[in-house]
Amino acid sequence: MSTSIRKRLTYWLMPVLLLTGTTFAVPTWLNVHDEIDELFDKVLLDAAYALSHANYAQGVKPGSKDLALRGDGIDLVSQIRDSEGRILFQSHPFLPIPQGENSGYDTVNWQNQSWRVVNLKTDKGLIQVAQAQQERRETANEITLHLLTPLLILLPALTLWLGWAIGRGLAPLAQVADAVAHRNPQSLDPIPDKDLPAEVNILVGALNGLLNQLNQALSAQRQFTADAAHELRSPLTALSLQAQLAERAIEPELRAQALQTLRQGIDRASHLVQQLLTLARLDPEVGDSPLKPLFLDDLARNVVADFALLAANRHIDLGLTRSDHVLVAGAEEALRILFGNLIDNAIRYSPANARIDVSVINDAKTVRLEVNDTGPGIALDERGRVFDRFYRVLNSAESGSGLGLAIAKRIADQHQADITLNDGDGGIGLKVIVTFPENRE
């Protein structure tokens, strides 16, 4: 089950926030405790020096109670020993502080807790000032809490703000999703991209491109369906009439003639349906059939062989006059249909005893397939339209589907090839040239 972008961003940002807070809080806590320890150590030492001066000034005797030690609210305990170790002064009635061996700071376990003690040795004895470690920790923790309180408040507030900001940042995606949800095959208008963030604009641009392609594909499909229905109506009507004539024919000769006409009509209708199916298969988008290396001359030779019998039956001289060995990248079945349609058109529209020459030419820059016939040709003003679907040359004796050259053009476009119509060799007939973009040998 996929998670939302909001949750993903939250999962990614929360550890960052926690790590940031921890990175700030832990050093702060350690630094405050270190600073408090240094500060209180200095207070202990200052207090010890103060007692030392008082000891020299007053000449403290054993059991003295008149020395005052004020720590400005800091709970300090102190005692003074003479040079023989006898206690001369204690600030509080407690068990004696353990006597240190050397001057300086020491940490001792006294009265069942840890104490920080400074030992100051003088000519007259030993001065000791102590403070409970617990008091230091409490003071340091209190100061740390005051310092970190803004952070403790800021982190939850920042988390809430990030959640709100993420929601606001993702709002354009919800807007785009809503716009897409309101689209349907009858309404493929572009999604508005005004005032959208640049990142969302990229997505909207891609979606609008897709919607445009879908709109074109659906329009082409609707146009194809309408054209196909229109083109099939006449042949089917003719077949129905021819079938009725065959049923009504009494004499064997008339019946045989009607059946032959019916058979020819069926052949034409079958050819039209086959062309429609081919065009429908090519119509969606180009990239469905992968382009693979193939030898163009071998393919042309096979297609010419396939149409040799049809050409012979119509007393047409069909041959492969030039076949340069050349390798191209193409979809074999699609190129076979392209070659076949060009040759089939040449056969259909050429009179008996005509000549059709097929050539595969590999020169320095291009690879060309040429189909040259000695038929009636196509007028210059019609050559631009013969690639349209269902367009037939005016005054043509042959009743074709008007799809052969449209299919050839479609396949040529798939292979990034150009297809052009020129006058035949010697100005007679028609020459169809398919030029591939580069020499791929």
Which residue(s) pair with 129 in the sheet?
78, 118
92-111: per-residue pLDDT in tens? 888 888 887 778 999 999 88
Rg (the chain; Cα; Å): 51
Mean pLDDT confidence for 221-244: 67
Neighbours of 373 (CB within 10 A): 27
Side chain identity, residue 204: V
Side chain identity, residue 125: G
Mean pLDDT confidence for 33-42: 92
Q: And the tokens for 176?
A: 């785009």
CB 97 within 8 A of CB 76: no
Instruction: Tell whether the model's pLDDT for residue 116 goes beyond 90.
Output: yes
Report pLDDT for 68.
46
More confident residue, 205 or 67: 205
Q: And the tokens for 159?
A: 């988390």
Look at the pTM and tell me if it is higher than 0.75: no
Mean pLDDT confidence for 120-132: 89
Instruction: Tell whether the model's pLDDT for residue 282 goes beyond 70.
Output: no
Residue (of 316, 345, 339) closest to 404 by Cα position: 345
Assign 278 a pLDDT band (cuts: 50, 70, 90).
Answer: low
The CA distance from 427 to 420, in Å, is 16
Mean pLDDT confidence for 340-361: 88
Assign 285 a pLDDT band (cuts: 50, 70, 90).
Answer: very low
Report pLDDT for 137.
92
The continuous run of DSSP H or E covering 39 comes out as helix 5-58
∠ CA 119-123-127 to the nearest 5 degrees?
Answer: 25
195-215: per-residue pLDDT in tens? 778 877 888 888 888 888 887
Instruction: Tell whether the model's pLDDT for residue 130 goes beyond 70.
Output: yes
Instruction: Tell whether the model's pLDDT for residue 286 goes beyond 70.
Output: no
From the number of C-beta atoms within 10 Å of its C-beta (0-12, 13-18, 19+), residue 11 rates as exposed
Q: What is the mean pLDDT of the chain?
A: 79
Assign 119 a pLDDT band (cuts: 50, 70, 90).
Answer: very high
CB 122 within 8 A of CB 52: yes
For the ranges 305-319, 344-358, 406-420, the lowest mean pLDDT is seen at 406-420
Residue (of 158, 162, 214) closest to 186 by Cα position: 214
SS3 (DSSP) at 381: helix
CB 235 within 8 A of CB 265: yes
List CB contacts of 343: < 8 A, sequence separation 6 or more: 303, 304, 307, 318, 356, 358, 371
Report pLDDT for 298.
92
Instruction: Tell whether the model's pLDDT for residue 435 goes beyond 80.
Output: yes
The CA distance from 335 to 337, in Å, is 5
Mean pLDDT confidence for 400-418: 77
The CA distance from 47 to 106, in Å, is 15
CB 228 within 8 A of CB 276: yes
The CA distance from 393 to 390, in Å, is 10
More confident residue, 404 or 169: 169
CB half-sphere exposure, 106, CA atoms < 13 A: 17
- The dihedral region occupied by 257, where left means phi > 0, alpha psi between -120 and 50, and beta the remainder, is alpha
Place of tokens 């990034």: 416
Assign 90 a pLDDT band (cuts: 50, 70, 90).
Answer: confident
Instruction: Tell whether the model's pLDDT for residue 231 goes beyond 70.
Output: no
The CA distance from 349 to 266, in Å, is 20
Q: 317-323 and 355-362: which strand pairing?
A: parallel
359-405: per-residue pLDDT in tens? 999 987 788 899 999 888 887 777 777 767 665 554 454 555 566 77
CB 81 within 8 A of CB 87: yes
Q: Edge-to-edge strand order for the sheet containing 77-82? A: 87-90, 77-82, 125-132, 113-121, 104-110
Q: What is the DSSP letter of 380?
A: G
Share of the chain above pLDDT 70, in %: 81
CB 347 within 8 A of CB 308: no
CB 249 within 8 A of CB 378: no
Q: Hey, CA dihedral for 40, 41, 42, 48, is it positive or negative?
A: positive
Report pLDDT for 71.
43
Strands (E), 249-362: 292-295, 317-323, 327-330, 355-362
SS3 (DSSP) at 414: helix
CB 424 within 8 A of CB 360: no
For the ranges 27-31, 132-136, 215-219, 360-364, the lowest mean pLDDT is seen at 215-219
